[in-house]
Structure 1
Amino acid sequence: MARTSPAGAIGNYRIRELTTPAGIDAIRELWDDLVARVAHQSFLHELPWSAAVCGQLLPGIVCYYCVYDGETLIAVIPLERRSWGLGFLKLRWLQLPTHSNIFLGDILLDQAYHRESVFSAVLDHIDRVSSFHWDYCKLRKFCPRSSLYSLARQEGMMTRQVGNCSYTSCRDGADAGRISRKMWKNVSRLSRKAAREIGPVNMDCSEPGPACEGSFRDFLDIESSGWKGESGSGTSLSADPRSSDFFRSLMVDSAQEWFARVFTLKFGAHKVASMLAIKSNSIWYLLKIGYDEEYRAYGPGSILLQAFIERVVAEEDTAEINLTTAPLWAERWHFPSVPLYESLVFGSTLRARACRIYYGLKFRLRQREAGPGGVLAHC
């Protein structure tokens, strides 16, 4: 579906709605040109990510609001429409694409328009052309260098910290030297033990092409071999066809369009760990990592991460490894982290006023529980 606001109806901007991968692909050239003008580019801004979210993970749920200034695409804002309750008590809200396999959030915004009311124009557009009378808009899991962070600061949105994202710089050996020496030595010891008892330790990297499907299937098999499989929590990608199709789109179908790779660790002929990663704007983003429970005593996931770090530190154009989440094991490596935020924008309904009071009290309570420095930040 593609719907456009009447010319001149929303300030000086024209807004078009896209809800299908075909619609997104139709503006590929304009999209790629906009990505080059985003202040801090990441994989979230690249077209293959949004096409996979729209086509495989959340089909028919996300609407991409494309904002034009004349013929120039200046912003793409993905939003879901959600509701809960009955009658007058029925809440209606907008939110960024939300799923257990979406770890970070952001919008595409031309850095030249950071001080313009582009986001407000999209909300006005929704009010004017739809019957969806939203009470609030939730913008969740964005980091300090995102376009959303700049927007939240400019608009003075109600904002709180909702998590963290671990990372490590890797421009040179000195950066790698900041990683826990104890952890590094322990992993090196386990790697030598695996080499002695099982076979040579090697890490393979997939390349775009037919073989990439095999590497992705290896990841699915490895991840589902342990506690995430059917006999455990059932949270592996293999247990969720929609999620596996989503990651296949990212890692296999779009492998020619961007730098998506599958890294596989082997002990001799045995494939024991695997990782899905995407490189964007000199940063490696680690999306998924899994290991074969049979070899758990050797720490295959840690050995894979160590081998990956050694590889990317040697790359001249790599500045950072980003874990996209803050897993507990990252603390053992002494990886630093940055906060992830949630911001709220409230509508004009009576329910919106109640929501503003409720969330204001909730945020302040969380701040008190967190103590000095808390989680509340009115950007």
Structure 2
Amino acid sequence: MDKIKVLVVDDSVVIRRLVTDLLRADPGIEVVGTAVNGRAAVEKVQALAPDLVTMDIEMPEVDGIEAVRRIRATGSRIPIIMFSTLTERGAVATLDALAAGASDYVAKPANVGSVTRSMDQVRDALIPRIRSLVPRMGHPAPLPGAGATTATVTVTATPTVQLRDPRPAPPGGHELLVIGSSTGGPEALGTLLGALPVLPVPVAIVQHMPPVFTQQLAARLDRRVAARVVEAEQGQPLLPGSVYIAPGDRHLLVARSGRGLVARLSQDPPENYCRPAVDVLFRSAVEAVGGAVLAAVLTGMGQDGRRGAQVVVDAGGSVVVQDRATSVVWGMPGAVAQAGLAEQVLALPEIATELVQRLGATRCAVAAGAR
């Protein structure tokens, strides 16, 4: 059985040792080298040909973001997992790294209290991502969903997918668009929303990310796309032409009130190891508008969204998913497609066109948008 070869990059001796030790304890992973800054990382990627890199963000000489840019500039599509801090500055830097081509991220342990707990925390977050981004025989990708984004696409044998027959729109048409994403999601969302006009329905999104990160993601998308994008708040009206992102560590639910659709936030237990969870959003959308739901499942690790997609389909709604070739990890969309719940499996650039057609939106809607 081939081992997954990993290069560990961090200027901290403590973090390098922690990550190296926990990876070497896994029989399916081999640490082939370490580097203390981004310049050395670029050189060792070329010299050692690892399968994956773990990359610190703040380092001397060349930081992690620039190192990602330099690695991508060589044409390499090697998966890169960033190590970031759960702070506003760390969130901004992580999103910058993802935009530069990093594949995902893991939060550094903070206020944990012991080395053992630190190792447990990092191992539980890091190993599933490594196995999802670099699948090997005997290393099935685990169920937990998490994290972030772009350039690396995992491709293995394509499973047989049975598409559903398209459902006619229910009376009154679609009232709500709901989207779920995880690994690879921030950049996929940017691409998708950037290609959409201001839509005639509200858009509610679950992206697996921690607090602070979702706020920064919403702000970044708001600057980039035609629609108004915000982090959802408790009791907030969900208005056509606006996009609402679930806050980190809160489930986002859609509810109907006397004045229309509103956001509800919950700290109910995680589902699919996730809070926010896509399944929770999709179920609540059906409870609020019945079959007038249009759902999209984008790139992501795990199976979050599959059960929720079943609820949408059972109610008479429609589900489209991102295809394997354009997904960073075809876990979430693949689970929905392989369950026979998707009406269409589309490349990311094609999803916007399909959503516009199904929602009856036009480019002229941008001029009358909600900004």
Which has the larger share of strand?
Answer: 1
Higher RCO (CA-CA < 8 Å; seq separation 6+) = 1
* TM-score exceeds 0.5: no
Structure with greater Cα Rg: 1
Q: With structure 2 as the length reference, what TM-score do the two structures score?
A: 0.28
Q: With structure 1 as the length reference, what TM-score do the two structures score?
A: 0.27
